[in-house]
Structure 1
Amino acid sequence: MRVLVLGGTTFIGRRVVERLHERGDQVLVVHRGHHDPASWVPVAHLHTDRGELSGHRDRIRDFGPTAVVDTYALTRGDVTAVLGVLPEVPTVVLSSQDVYQAYAGMRAGRCESPVPIDEQSELRRDRYPCRGAGLAGVPDDYEKLDVEQAWSHRGAVVLRLPMVYGPHDPQRREDPVLRRIRAGRDRMPVGAGNLLWARCHVEDIATGALTALDVREADGLAVNLGEASTVPIIDWFHQIVHAAGVSLDLVRVPEQALPDELVLTGAPAQHLLTSVHRAQTVLGWAPADPEERVAESVRWHLAHPPRSVWTDEDKRTDESALRTA
């Protein structure tokens, strides 16, 4: 298979490209050249902004893609910029479970949707969830609903992704726990910690993407990916501590005392728990054991710590919260 990958040099896209190469596919990675991994797999690169892809028609025709994976479409414009250049071949698009109304409810502190959420659950009523937030690298017109709609007439498989963790995760999902471990802390403030938010390791997401390329029965479908069973966030934190092989006491404190990075450990009005039945039955996809995947991720992140350090202000904030326990 000759696969053209849009994006594909960071985190999820990076692992998808590596897996495609490992199984023997020919790959052309289209990206701006800002995040070329060092000592990476020997795949072809086309350095260009996707908005300027039309200027590279000859290169794409010469490559002759038989499949496309879009790993980094954030807006409708990101999709419309490439549709006229790419051939109509099997396509997989990475979307997000933030398209569901349950996501809006979770952010607003209201119960908006029953769980588990499947692909027929209500989609988000309001558009542009990041508008005005000033998030680095996220445009105000970020909208995965627009991305899905723009790709729909091509019969693309839309993979709706949960909270994804693992090696090279730029958000370092485990870091609220790991940064305290690296600082030698023995107590950590937490809330009720009963949030159920579907998660999945990047390796299993990559497996889902490759499988979706191969299974034509999935064409035109939206498919949720995620763990087959999801534990509350407090149990996920305990898994992280256990995988790190340390002693860290998770201390329950009042929700209003929680540091900002730990507000997700409060008591939510809305869960974001998704069903992966369609992925299991249509794709034949099954993720690995979550506890084993957490251990793999923790080992990688401990071996590759971020540059940020634990500060005196971090210590004061934690100690202030712990005094309210």
Structure 2
Amino acid sequence: MRVLILGGTWFLGRRIAERLAERGDQVLIAHRGSARSDPGVPGLHLRTDRHDLARHAGQIKDFAPQAVVDTFALTGADVDAVLPVLPHVPSVVLSSQDVYEAYTGLQTGQCLSPVPITEESPLRRERYPYRGKGYPGVPDDYEKLDVEARWLDRGAVVLRLPFVYGPHDYQRREEPILRRVRAGRDRVPVGAANLLWTRGHVDDMATGVLAALDIRSADGLAVNLGESTTVPIGVWFEQILRAAGSRTRLERVPDDRLPPDLALAGAPAQHLLVSSARAERLLGWAPGDPETRVAESVRWHLAHPPEGGWTDADAAADDAALAGP
């Protein structure tokens, strides 16, 4: 199969390209060649901003894609820029479980939605959740609901992704714990740490994309992906510590004393626990064992530490949280 990937040189997109190449598919990756891009990702590389894709319509036509995977549409305009250039072929677009009203609840400290969340659960009523907040790399008009509407009209499979972690994760999801392990800290301050937020290993997410391309039973539908069982975030922290071979322990402190990078270790009003039953039923998809996946991810991140490290300010914040009243 000839597959055109929009994006595809970062985290999940990179793994999708690798998996397609491993099984013998031909891959054309259209990407900007940003600092995070890895030129070693297998496939043909077309360096372009997606908003300039029309300039390369001839190359797209010559490649004659039999499927499209859009890994990095953040706004409605991102989709509008590419649809006129793309053939009407089976397509998969990566979305986010931030489309649900439960996400608003998690962000605002309100319980707005029952769990587990299914594809029929309430969607966010307020649009453009990052407008005016100045998050690096996130446009003001970021809105996966706009992305989904355009691609669903095209008959694509929309995969709503969870909290994704694993090798090459540029967000370094495990880093709040691993940075303390590297620094030799013997205690980590946590609050109730009972948040249930569905996670997903990058390789399992890639498997879901390939299933959606191959099986085609979810065309025109939104589908949740995520681990089969979810433990509270405090237990996930403990899994990370075990995988790292660390004796560092979690110590309960009041939520209002938590350091900023451990804010998720409090007591939330809203959980983001998501059901993947539709993916299992329609795509025959099943993720790996969560604790095994955590161990795989931790091994990679320990072997590939980020730049920068533990600072005196970090230590002071933890010490203050752990010092008691």
Report the TM-score when normalising by structure 2.
0.98
Q: Structure 1 residues 107, 180: closer, same or farther in 2, change over 3 A?
A: same
Report the Cα distance in structure 2 between the residues aligned to 1:32 and 1:174, rounded to whole angstroms.
27
What's the secondary structure of 2:217's corresponding residue?
Answer: helix
Question: 1:215 aligned to 2:215?
Answer: yes
Question: 1:28 aligned to 2:31?
Answer: no
Report the Cα distance in structure 1 between the residues aligned to 2:290 and 2:231, rounded to whole angstroms.
9
Question: 1:248 aligned to 2:239?
Answer: no
Q: Following superposition, which runs of at least 4 residues in structure 1 exceed 2 angstroms of deviation?
A: 38-41
Once the two structures are TM-superposed, the CA of residue 38 in structure 1 deviates from its matched residue by 4.8
Q: How does 1:79-98 map to 2 (within 5 A)?
A: 79-98=79-98
Structure 1 gaps of 5+ residues are none
CA contact 1:223–1:279 (8 Å) conserved in 2: yes
Aligned residue for 1:99? 99
Aligned residue for 1:37? 38
* Corresponding residue pairs, total: 324
Aligned residue for 1:188? 188
Aligned residue for 1:153? 153
Aligned residue for 2:137? 137
CA contact 2:14–2:41 (8 Å) conserved in 1: no
Report the Cα distance in structure 2 between the residues aligned to 1:37 and 1:107, rounded to whole angstroms.
33
Report the Cα distance in structure 1 between the residues aligned to 2:40 and 2:20, rounded to whole angstroms.
17
CA contact 2:9–2:39 (8 Å) conserved in 1: no
Report the Cα distance in structure 1 between the residues aligned to 2:49 and 2:245, rounded to whole angstroms.
44
Aligned residue for 1:263? 263
Could you tell me which amino acid in structure 2 is paired with residue 214 of structure 1? Answer: D
Q: Which moved more, 1:70-79 or 1:32-41?
A: 32-41
Could you tell me which amino acid in structure 2 is paired with residue 116 of structure 1? Answer: P
Could you tell me which amino acid in structure 2 is paired with residue 37 of structure 1? Answer: D
What's the secondary structure of 1:3's corresponding residue?
Answer: strand
Report the Cα distance in structure 1 between the residues aligned to 2:305 and 2:289, rounded to whole angstroms.
24
Report the Cα distance in structure 2 between the residues aligned to 1:171 and 1:261, rounded to whole angstroms.
12
Aligned residue for 2:64? 64
Could you tell me which amino acid in structure 2 is paired with residue 174 of structure 1? Answer: E
What's the secondary structure of 2:85's corresponding residue?
Answer: coil
Identity %: 66
- Offset from partner CA, 1:167-222 (integer Å, 9 cap, x none): 11011000000000000100110010000000000000000001100112110010
Report the Cα distance in structure 1 between the residues aligned to 2:39 and 2:106, rounded to whole angstroms.
38
Aligned residue for 1:173? 173
CA contact 2:9–2:41 (8 Å) conserved in 1: no
Once the two structures are TM-superposed, the CA of residue 40 in structure 1 deviates from its matched residue by 3.5
Question: 1:302 aligned to 2:302?
Answer: yes
Could you tell me which amino acid in structure 1 is paired with residue 31 of structure 2? Answer: H
Report the Cα distance in structure 2 between the residues aligned to 1:222 and 1:166, rounded to whole angstroms.
24
Report the Cα distance in structure 1 between the residues aligned to 2:310 and 2:111, rounded to whole angstroms.
35
Report the Cα distance in structure 2 between the residues aligned to 1:217 and 1:63, rounded to whole angstroms.
26
Aligned residue for 1:125? 125
CA contact 1:257–1:324 (8 Å) conserved in 2: no
